[in-house]
């Protein structure tokens, strides 16, 4: 699976079309051409997932208690607004007006790589959020532990 890396800022036209960065488009051509976009339920941004990742998200929600309030809320939040967006011949997607309003997108869009997914942000809002995130990490002295791999042939 390809990873979405880096941040790209592209122009948003008056019709709501924005060019998807070519490295992101290349990672989105398999298994389905396009990207699923939905409003983040934690950030003022849009989440962008490959269709196979959306399927995994759906399977995770299916593991919750059926008809529980949490399951109902997550399904309504994640899937009810989700749109499968495909690009035109110029590599642009059309962002629905409700998405542009939610993320306060006016003339530019920041495509922010997040490994297996990416987000779409107002560039100024993302810059502020990123600086706050860096400060939180420094203050908390957050670290990561890479998964250990077993030697070949080990069980």
Tens digits of per-residue pLDDT, 16-58?
A: 999 999 999 988 876 567 899 999 999 999 999 999 999 999 9
pTM: 0.88
Residue 70 to residue 35: CA distance in whole angstroms:
26
Tens digits of per-residue pLDDT, 66-125?
A: 889 999 998 888 899 899 999 999 999 999 999 999 999 999 999 999 999 999 999 999
User: In terms of C-beta density within 10 A (0-12 exposed, 13-18 middle, 19 or more buried), how is residue 126 classed?
Assistant: buried
Evaluate the omega torsion of the peptide bond into residue 2 and state whether it is cis, within 30 degrees of 0: no
Residue 149 to residue 154: CA distance in whole angstroms:
10
Which residue ranges form the domains of the chain, and what is each CATH number? 7-140 (3.40.1550.20)
Q: What residue has token string 């939610």?
A: 102
Contact 113, 2 (CB under 8 A): no
């Amino acid at each position: 699976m390809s990873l979405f890396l880096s941040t790209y800022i592209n122009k948003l036209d008056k019709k709501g079309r924005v060019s998807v960065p070519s490295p992101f488009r290349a990672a989105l051509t398999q298994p389905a051409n396009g990207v699923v976009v939905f409003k983040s339920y934690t950030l003022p941004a849009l989440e962008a997932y490959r269709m196979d990742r959306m399927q995994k998200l759906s399977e995770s929600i299916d593991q919750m208690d059926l008809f529980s309030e949490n399951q109902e809320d997550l399904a309504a939040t994640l899937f009810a607004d989700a749109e499968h967006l495909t690009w035109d011949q110029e590599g642009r997607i059309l962002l629905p007006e409700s998405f542009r309003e939610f993320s306060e997108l006016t003339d530019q869009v920041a495509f922010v790589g997040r490994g297996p997914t990416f987000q779409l942000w107002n560039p100024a809002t993302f810059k502020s959020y990123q600086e706050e995130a860096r400060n939180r990490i420094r203050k908390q002295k957050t670290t990561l532990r890479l998964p250990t791999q077993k030697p070949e042939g080990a069980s």
